Each structure stands twice: as structure tokens, then as C-alpha cells.
Amino acid sequence: MDGPKKLKQTEVKDTAVYWRWINLTTLAVIGKSAVFHIDISNNDAPTKMFDRNPQMASCQIMSYDVNPQNKCAYLVGLYSSDQRSINGQMQFFNFEKKQQTFIEGYSGCFADLPVTDTPGEITQCFAFCEKKSAETTQRVHIIDVGSNPGQSKFKVTTELQMAADAPGDFPVLMQAAPKYGIIFMITKFGYLFMIEASKGALIYRQRVTDQLIFASVRNTVTDGMICINKVGQVLSINVEENNLVSFIMSAQHIPDNKTLAFKLASKYHLAGADEIFQQQFNTCVASGDYAGAARAARDAPGTLLRNAETIQKFKSLPAAPGSPQPILLYFSTLLETVKLNEIESVELARPVLQ
């Protein structure tokens, strides 16, 4: 743009009805009959990715995206059959298998998140809101789209309760916040929903505008959303990191809220559950479960337990017959999923050199 410099000129043999950048070098163009990708880093012609489902012919296209692995995509369109109610259609396409799934739904998003209880495991997730035309219930599904055949797949489903003063409301935008394991969702009438991904629990709902929000982008600095509504207002939506866990702990509307808060604090190293981590660590040490104590230190936020005091404690613990020194068990537990901090790196070097 500073140049200006022409990067590419090409022709799409279809009538474009929607387009957007899906990454820094790829422009997706949705035609009336098919979906195309244009790579601006070369001189190749547009690549036809898949044909549009004929059932979506009457839809106004609202969104399109591809997952980070470039293995699957979704296309969303809206239509009205009676000039009063608005319904959604979604076409999900797997590029590798050349297979499509047709969903009655409004919006979706991709995200790579640690939704299982396996330490260090990241799941390729697809979240979407489904509402069948013959039903009034709206459901949010969060499913695993990356597992190999035969592997168990992650899936959670939760019913979505719209606000009492917004009958007929429906989601128009969804976006993931991988830093917190949260799915943001904004509805036609300006309500913001925050949904925890591993359980599908509704954490927060609040009206943020009375105008339609028609576009949003992820804030890569804060992992929040920057949105624009139809009167030109720009809204910045972010998670208050130091308050998220304590908010969930005190939120009575969230099922098993304390367990969920502790899991979020463990997975994402968030403040707010310091006392629980400390109690867990002390209990494990007292019972001789040094591996459990090491895991508690690893999962605690910041340097709450990953400090010189903890290292000295592990150094002073007696080793069980036939077992490694507790301090080496501590380091090996950390190195399974995380990098050592400065203090730990120096301390590990000492016994290695000896």
C-alpha cells in the first residue's frame, strides 16, 4: 500500500458474492457456484476448493474460514423463508477427504485448544451454533476435527439460552480466544456470550451494543475481539486475565464452577486459584507424592511455585529406594510439557555437571 505495488492480477470465472483474507497471503472468494482461493505469493490461477451446496443458493453469505492446518473449511449463509424468521445454513468441507457436511446453523469458528485432561494435548476444534428449521432450540457444538480414524473424538454440546428481551436472536459472529480456552459469540441484537470450550459452560452474557455488529477480527495482542457495528462504532472486547478464574469461582450459574476454575487456572496458568495450588502442592509433598507435587508446581501460574524455595524443598526431600532423586523428578515433570525458567535451568545444570 505504501508503494503502491500491484502484487497480482487474476480472473475468477464466477460471480463473487463474498470475499475475505483467510491468512496473510490467501484471499478466499465465494462465487455463486464454488469457493476459490487466490494465493498472492505466486502467479498461479485461482484454485477451486469445492462447489457450493445447491441448498445454499438462496443464502446471503455471511462468513467463511479455514482451520489453521488448512484441512477443512466452513461456509455460512442466512436466508428467510417467510420474511419474518431468519435461518442459517452451513457447509462444512474436508479438503483431504473431499467430503462435505450440511448443517442448519448460524456461525462457527476454528481453534486449537487443550480441551482434554491429557497434559500438553491440543485438539483441533470446530465450534458452531446449530438451529434446525423445525425447532426453536439453539445448540452450541464444539467438536474435534483433527483426530485420525479410530481415535476417540472430543465433543461437547450445550443449549444456548437467548436473553428474554431478545426473542428470535441468533449468533452472527464466533471467535476463539486460545489464550483462555474461551469461545466468544455475538448475536444479531448485540449480546456477547463467553463459552468455556472444554465443558461448553456459559461463563458470561451481556449486551454490548444495540446495533448490529457485522465484522470482527481477533486482537492478536490480547486474544480479544475488535468489532465494528453498522453505525461505525469500534468495540474492543477482552478478557480481564487476572479476574477470570476468581469470577468463575464466584459464579453460581456455572455448574461445578470451582472445578472448572481450577482447570482453567492449570491449563492456562491464570491467577486466581493460588491458594488451591499451594494446598495441593503441600498435600502431595506431605503424602510423599512428589510427582503430584511437581505437577502442581508446573500447572500453577507464573512463579507461584516454580521458584527457588520449591527447588530447595525438592532438594531436601528423601528419595525412595530405587526411585530417582525428587529434584530430578521435578525437572523431568516440568520438561514433559513446558520450558524451564532461568532459576530452574541453572539448578538443573548443577547435578548434570556433577
For the chain, the domains span 53-239, 273-353
pLDDT at 70: 93
Backbone phi, then psi, for 277, in 5-degree steps?
-60, -45
Give 342's contacts (C-beta < 8 A, 6+ positions apart): none
pLDDT at 239: 96
pLDDT digit string, tens, across residues 21-62: 999 999 999 999 999 999 999 999 999 999 999 989 889 999
261, pLDDT greater than 70: yes
User: What is the Rg, in whole angstroms, of the alpha carbon atoms belonging to the chain?
Assistant: 24
* CB neighbours of residue 335 within 10 Å: 13
CATH 3.40.190.10 for domain 273-353: no
* pLDDT above 90 coverage of the chain, percent: 69
Cβ atoms of 188 and 85 closer than 8 Å: no
353, pLDDT greater than 90: no
pLDDT at 350: 83
Partners of residue 281 on adjacent β-strands:
none
Q: Which amino acid is at 60?
A: Q
pLDDT at 7: 87
CATH number of 53-239: 2.130.10.110
Task: Give Cα 97 distance to the centre of its chain.
Answer: 24
* Angle at CA of residue 156, ends 269 and 264, nearest 5°: 10
Task: Give Cα 124 distance to the centre of its chain.
Answer: 9
pLDDT digit string, tens, across residues 283-297: 999 999 999 999 999
pLDDT digit string, tens, across residues 115-159: 988 877 899 999 999 998 788 889 999 999 987 766 768 999 999
Over residues 231-256, the mean pLDDT reads 94
